[in-house]
Amino acid sequence: MILLCSSSKSRAKLLQVANIPFIQKSCEFDEEQIQTTNPLEFVSLATKGKFTECLKCLGDEIPLLSADTIITDGKQLLRKAKNENDAKRLLSIQSGKKIDIVTYQIIGYQGKIYDNLATTTYYFDKFNEKDTENYIKSGEWVGSAGACKVESFCKKYIKKQIGYTSTAMGLTTEWVEKILNKIY
């Protein structure tokens, strides 16, 4: 059993698919307070902030799992879109380009900390303009880093992938399973 410290539906689904039993609870941490624009620093600070808040309010009698995911084009941090115009802007940056989706995750259990930084790289074809408009109008992008959903909209545009799909979806379940086997 693991305690998923996140309200993310994608992370919950990943754990379900991997048959990892979990309870899902979230504690408040405001990512907007993070001032850095460095992608790796941001994902690290966000994950550590979430983990610290969950540790304070939930303890670590069962393994706590915290994670955050960002997208970068190698130059800039592509965060969650604030509105449809921002989603369009973020997707235009990724269209026809190479992007890295980075997930940092922490498992804490009875005073021990395990962490992992994983990257999945995608090379995308150019996104079709009408397809992009329909995707943006659907609202499916809401809450996703860079407005990117590699399991749906972006999937048909993938020319090449290096790394785990689970990492790109917000949680490297392969790593989580390895750590849980070590703990139990």
Are 111 and 60 in contact by the 8 Å Cβ rule? The answer is: yes
Whether 68 sits among the annotated catalytic residues: the reply is yes
Strand 77-78 and strand 98-109: pairing? unpaired
Dist. CA 99–CA 126, nearest whole Å? 13
Q: Which of 30, 60, 68, 100 is catalytic?
A: 68
Strand partners, 112: 109
> In 3D, which of 100, 99, 104, 108 has the Cα closest to residue 118?
104
Dist. CA 67–CA 50, nearest whole Å? 8
CB neighbour burial string for 163-178, b if at least 16 within 10 angstroms, e if fewer: bbbbbbbbbbbebbee
Dist. CA 163–CA 1, nearest whole Å? 26
- Residues designated catalytic: 68
